[in-house]
Amino acid sequence: MTSTQTTSAPTDTGREITYSEAIREAIGQAMEADERVFMLGEDIGIYGGAFGVSGDLYHRFGAERIRDTPISELGIVGAAVGAALAGMRPIVEIQFSDFTNQAMDQIVNQAAKIHFMLGGAATVPMVLRAPLGSGTGAAAQHSQSLEAWFAHVPGLKVVMPSSAADAKGLLLSAIDDPNPVIVLEHKLLYRTSGPVPEEAVRVPLGKTNVVRRGSDLTIVATGVMVSRSLEAAGILADEGVDVSVIDPRTLSPLDDAPILEDVGRTGRVLLVQEAPGHGGFTAEIAARITESPTIYRLLAPVKRLSGLNAPIPYAPQLETASVPQVADIVDQALTIMKES
């Protein structure tokens, strides 16, 4: 695993907890503050969640509000849509984001569109949390990064927290939001730690985070690629290359201004994602850069570093080779520097 890192979220005590604990803390605080908030999903009760995220919430809040379900993703998400329409604030946990495929009708055709189709007469304030990404040896059906699918659907907000503080703060904002919000957590981040405020501090949705400010090159990354990019930034600094690392955090709606501003300043950009490149989310960022006057400030072509256009394989050496690693980011950054 890569190193931990901080974000712009305020911290008072410097207390460090894991990404997983931060999510649990957010859910617990939201449930204490608002009785409309409840959780439903597979094995979230006594079992504590497939990745241990719900933990002891069942013992604190009981079986009604930490609601174990049968294995039926479509039914679970649909029930959350209906409960949200009827005034509750459900948080759905899907065990692996790959399984959202089972529930796509309710996510894409129902949750995302109801507010619009009814001319604004109803809202669907639900949160769907799901772990994404590779790195656990779980192979092709448990390791995908499908964020671009969700970001492509009007009416869904899509969040990818890359630190413990963001995991808590963005989730609290997602629960407050009157719209359906997809929160894509990275499996490899669950056990990483970082400073997280004890209070229920919100990180606003739709606010890009400039994690590190540099002068030579802008790296835009999401999920676990943020910490890999920060590690690469440290190595690049030793090579005399000073890079910015920017994490959009919310993919939809996208706050592109800080990205355009920073790329305009450095003149070089490397877009990093774990997902396959073809049709990927970084293509959207690349397009925003080339559609804006920022294009005239570029000293080098826009570069993307993505996962291979292939399913995630099982063998560890194959899996590692399928998605960008720290060394790949360093290499790409140095190539851009040389070519400009």
Partner 1 sequence: MTDAPMATAEAARHALHTMWSIRRFEEAVDDLFARGLMHGTMHLSIGQEASATGVCMALRPDDAITSTHRGHGHCIGKGADLTRMMAELLAKETGYCRGRGGSMHIADVATGNLGANGIVAGGIPIATGAALAYRMRGEDRVVACFFGDGATNEGAFHEAVNLAAIWKLPVVFVCENNKYGMSFSTEKSMAVENIADRAAAYGIPGVTVDGNDVSAVYEATRTAVDRARAGEGPTLVENLTYRWKGHSKSDKNLYRTKEEISEWRALDPILRFEHDLKESGLLSEEDIQGIRTQAMEEMRDAVRTANSAPDADPSDLLDAVFAPV
Q: Is 122 in the site for partner 1 (CB under 8 A)?
A: yes
> Which residues, in sequence order, are bridge partners of residue 127?
91, 181
Residue choice 31, 76, 217, 302 for contact with partner 1 (CB under 8 A)? 76
Between residues 82 and 311, which has the closer beta carbon with respect to partner 1? 82
Residues ≥6 apart with Cβ < 8 Å to 340:
267, 268, 299, 300
Residue 227, SS3 per DSSP: helix
Between residues 66 and 245, which has the closer beta carbon with respect to partner 1? 66
Sole window of 3-11, 20-28, 172-180, 210-218 interacting with partner 1 (rule: CB under 8 A): 172-180
Scanning 86-223, the segments in alpha helix (DSSP H) are 104, 114-117, 147-151, 164-176
C-alpha span between 123 and 110 (Å, rounded): 11
Which one of 25, 93, 115, 142 is the catalytic residue?
142
How many residues form the binding site for partner 1 (CB under 8 A)?
46
Whether 91 contacts 127, CB under 8 Å: yes
Which one of 25, 42, 73, 284 is the catalytic residue?
73
DSSP per-residue letters across 132-157: E---SS--TTS----HHHHHTSTT-E
- Among candidates 176, 70, 74, which has minimal Cα distance to 126? 176
Minimal distance in Å, beta carbon 112 to partner 1?
9
Between residues 124 and 148, which has the closer beta carbon with respect to partner 1? 124
Q: Is 84 in the site for partner 1 (CB under 8 A)?
A: yes
Q: Is 27 in the site for partner 1 (CB under 8 A)?
A: no
Binders of partner 1 in range 173-212 (CB under 8 A): 176-179, 205
Q: Is 278 a catalytic residue?
A: no
Minimal distance in Å, beta carbon 105 to partner 1?
6
Residue choice 32, 105, 198, 199 for contact with partner 1 (CB under 8 A)? 105
> What CA–CA distances, in Å, run from 186 to 77, 236, 256, 268?
20, 25, 22, 27
> SS3 string of 162-175?
CCHHHHHHHHHHHH
Q: Is 79 in the site for partner 1 (CB under 8 A)?
A: yes
* The token pair that represents 166 in the structure block: 């963001």
Residues annotated as catalytic (active site), given as ranges: 73, 142
- Per CB under 8 A, residues contacting partner 1 are 38, 64-65, 69-70, 72, 74-88, 90, 105-106, 109-110, 114-123, 125, 154-155, 157, 176-179, 205, 253
